[in-house]
Structure 1
Amino acid sequence: MKVCYFGAYNRKSMRVINNIKALRKAGVEVVECYDRSFPLPVRYHRLFWEHRRIDYDVMVVGWYGHSVLPLARSIAKGPVVLDAFIGLYETEVLDRRNYARNSLKVRLYYLLDKYHFKFADICLVDTNHHGDYFHQEFEVPREKLKTLYVSADEEYYFPRETHKSHERFCILFEGGYTPLHGIQHIIAAAKLLEGRKDIQFVLVGTGQTYNGIRRLAEGLRLRNVTFLPWMSYERLPGVIAKADVCLGIFDVGEKASRVIPSKAIDALAMKKPLITADSPAAREMLEDKVNCLLIPAGDPTALANAILSLKEDKTLANKIAGNGYELFKAQFSLEATGKKLKQILEETLNR
């Protein structure tokens, strides 16, 4: 099978990188037809002529695909599969709250999300609950929505031995500082544990809420929190390897309840004990005290207690880390992702 990976997708997105790599790992030939030129007519012109030179079986429109879907639908030589992943309206309005709910841009994002599904034969989402949301909010036929969980590249994310401090128990968060991460609850948990000199929090990354989180930590005069800058996915595993516990997300918002974040998958891939918020999406794959610890969203006390339980109970920590790693290999590795995506594409081709 030959796939045309089409559009103006973000080539630095791990969703895009991993999906393409996973397909190739599964024996699928992938040819990219890519352009991010401005203005839009120039992009369309270049994609149109590049596309004419490619023969393939299925077209996959990479995330975000909103701007190119009308063109993709009109020129496709086979079925069109959209990696919807997460929506503009949900991300920019419901989660990041970048715009007033009655603004013109909010209406535009809503309409873009609503109608871009119509141009595809099949749409990929990252959890079953995200599929339910798109079905209910935008009236997308449920059978059109197929779940493809986020993944981690085992070439970089794998269990490894590294030198760790025996004096400090390291709690790691890594991410883009968006509201759904609920990092303020991590800071609050650090405040509750500030008397424990043997516990240190390390926060890696930057983003929308970063400045506010720094001010919060400084206002609380926390000495048990270290901030590190954003790191490439090639460098990040070296930092994860030194952690004793990895953290997921803790926000109480709608979007947080519909995702299994990539940082959680990174932790599983590296055989690290994971603590994350209990949610409908998390329950699709994660099980409390089996392959992670699930705690109530927005509850710093529960987070602090979970950290202490893993520090004091090495048997539990090793158990959930080991089971989490087995879950990663079965469900979230590039091998598993490639098999699943190839199956979806073959089923689409044979409809």
Structure 2
Amino acid sequence: MQENSITTASRFLSQIRKKNVVYITVKNKDYIRTSQIRHILEENSAFFRIYSSEKSNPVSRALDLRCRISSMDIREADVVIIGFLPQLLLKAVKKKIAGNDACYRNGAAIGDGSDACHKTFLVAEMFLSLYDTVISDRHLFADGGVLSHLLKRLDKMTIEAADLVVTDTKANADYLSRLYDAGRDKFETLYLEADKEIYGATYSSSSLNVLYFGSGLPLQGTDIVLDAFAMAAGKNVSCTNNCYGNADSGIEDHSPRYITCTYVGSTKEIPRKILDKARSNPYIEIIPWLPQNLLAKKIAQADLCIAGHFNPNIGKADRTIPGKAYIYEAMNKKMILGDTTANHEIFVEDNRHFFVKRGDPQKLADAIAEFIKDNSDNNQEISQADAKL
């Protein structure tokens, strides 16, 4: 994996350093990005407050936060960061800090120059475009219609109103810059990082487990994943080289080793035929949902993790790095990634990272079998070396 930490040359970092910062996010408090920003603020800001929502969906969370903005302690903030969906909160936040911005005209300070008169630096952390998500990704409404134009307007207004726009990938920044004819220098990329207090590095045993987890969004290509699982799960990948279960015994272990697959998440986007085939495979475990601590344990038990994204028809899948990839990396897991522009920004193909063409379950199944087979041989070699030590 290429360098992923925020750099000292970062405009975002320079703006929050030793400043009073407010972070308002249309996400829950334990979301991966919320935790990441919290750690950054702990290390760099003079003082910070975080406002999030535990409601069940983005719209209800945005409404919850809008109702609370009037009581939020924002007026004295040097920097306000609006996270995940700033489009839904920007107008209310701008109104709240209007007293600060009224001290400025054409970028120059007016008034008596007292501490009560200061301009708030506004950061829009645009994880996604409303237009791209609702129209191009989910296909909820027709492109070119009234709602389509409204969503584009909200995106554009947010970019124009912000002093800095933070995205999760360079590909996403390029896309937003082109779509809304905005200067590329207004954007900065801050890649995701997993919370290592929850997802710490682990080292697997000689088990042969494959894991995928996801929310079931269309761009993830969960149908591709489960179809590949149905092809790969149950395959015998017995060790062929240096197969010593116990190095002292001198007896090679060629006992059967079968691929087992665990799928954690929604199956609503998966066709019935694929779902039935997966459910009938005794080597596949399907779990609807797990809390973070139990999910971390499941990942720890896996020898290979599937990251994605794999949907071949949604452009956003090519511009987005799966959040789970950062978690797998933090836990020192081998992973298979979708062959996308965004993934290539920070990952390089090696013996821990493998890229598979989007939309091809057979290639994904073959890659799983190849990785697991190699892992089986390597684990036997490690077991032999450990026993000698």
Q: Same fold (TM over 0.5)?
A: yes
**CA deviation vs aligned residue, 1:113-162 (integer Å, no higher than 9, x gap):** 12211110000000001000000111121000100111100101112357
Q: Secondary structure at the match of 1:313?
A: helix
What residue is the counterpart of 2:320 in the other structure? 259
Residues 201 and 213 (structure 1), Cα distance of their counterparts in 2 relative to 1, 3 Å cut: farther
Aligned residues of 2:227 and 2:274 also touching (Cα < 8 A): no
TM-score (norm 1): 0.79
AA aligned opposite 2:19 = K
Q: Choose which of 19, 28, 41 in structure 2 pairs with 1:11.
A: 28
Q: Identify which range, 88-97 or 276-285, moves more after superposition.
A: 88-97
Describe the shift of the 1:62–1:191 C-alpha distance in structure 2 as closer, same or farther (beyond 3 A): closer
Q: Does 1:233 find its partner at 2:251?
A: no
Deviations 1:172-219 (A, max 9, x none): 11110111111111222223325515112111122752xx35652205
User: What is the distance in 1 between the residues matched to 2:159 and 2:374?
Assistant: 47
TM-score using structure 2 length:
0.71
1:95 pairs with one of 132, 137, 145: 137
State whether residues 212 and 307 of structure 2, in contact with CA within 8 Å, keep that contact through their aligned partners in structure 1: yes
Corresponding residue pairs, total: 312
| 2:90 matches 1:69 | yes
Contact 2:230–2:284 (Cα < 8 Å) also in 1: no
Distance 1:11 1:192, change over 3 A: closer
Cα distance in structure 1, aligned partners of 2:67 and 2:361: 52
Name which of 280, 284, 288 aligns with 2:349: 288
Using a 3 Å threshold, how does the CA distance of structure 1 residues 230 and 3 change in structure 2: closer, same or farther?
farther
Q: Is the 8 A contact 2:333 2:352 kept in 1?
A: no
Correspondence for 1:145: 187
Match of 2:41, SS state, is helix
CA contact (8 A) 2:23 2:80 kept: yes
Contact 1:173/1:247 (CA < 8 Å) preserved in 2?
Answer: yes
The structural deviation recorded for 1:245 is 0.4
2:289 aligned partner, one-letter code: W
C-alpha RMSD of the superposition: 3.0
Structure 2 counterpart of 1:278, which letter?
A: D
Deviation at 1:9, TM superposition (A): 2.1
Match of 2:69 in 1: 47
Answer 1 or 2: which has greater helix percent.
1
Structure 1 unaligned blocks of 5 or more: 319-351
Correspondence for 1:333: none
Q: Give the residue type in structure 2 aligned to 1:257.
A: D
CA contact (8 A) 2:304 2:334 kept: yes
What are the within-5 Å matches in structure 2 for residues 207-246 of structure 1? 208-209=268-269, 212-213=270-271, 216-219=274-277, 221-246=280-305
- Per the alignment, residue 79 of structure 2 pairs with 58
1:171 — aligned with what? Answer: 210
Structure (1 or 2) with the larger CA radius of gyration = 2
Aligned to 2:4: none
* 1:241-320 correspondence to structure 2 within 5 Å: 241-249=300-308, 250-252=310-312, 253-289=314-350, 291-314=352-375
Alignment counterpart, residue 147 of structure 2, candidates 75, 83, 105: 105
* Large movers: runs of 4+ above 6 Å: 34-38, 40-43, 315-318
Identity over the aligned pairs, expressed in percent? 26
Asked whether the 8 Å contact 2:28–2:52 carries over to 1, the reply is no
Q: What amino acid maps onto 1:217 in structure 2?
A: L
Q: Does the CA-based 8 Å contact 1:59-1:78 persist in structure 2?
A: yes
The answer to whether the 8 Å contact 2:173/2:188 transfers is yes
Q: Is the 8 A contact 2:208 2:376 kept in 1?
A: no
What CA distance in whole angstroms lies between the structure 2 residues aligned with 1:124 and 1:247? 27
Kindly provide the amino acid, as one letter, of the partner of residue 28 in structure 2: R
Unaligned runs of 5+ in 2: 1-17, 101-118, 237-257, 380-389
Contact 1:70–1:119 at 8 Å: present in 2 too?
no
Please give the secondary structure, in 2, of the residue aligned with 1:133: helix
SS at 2:293 equivalent: coil
1:155 paired residue number:
197
SS in structure 2 opposite 1:203? Answer: strand
Q: Relative contact order: is structure 1 or structure 2 higher (C-alpha 8 Å, sep ≥ 6)?
A: 1
| Deviation of the 1:292 alpha carbon | 0.5
Residue 326 of structure 2 aligns to which amino acid in structure 1? I
Q: Name the CA distance, whole Å, in 2 between partners of 1:234 and 1:170.
A: 19
Residue 326 of structure 1: aligned partner = none
Q: CA offset at residue 10 of structure 1?
A: 1.9
1:8 and 1:265 map into 2 onto residues whose CA distance is 20
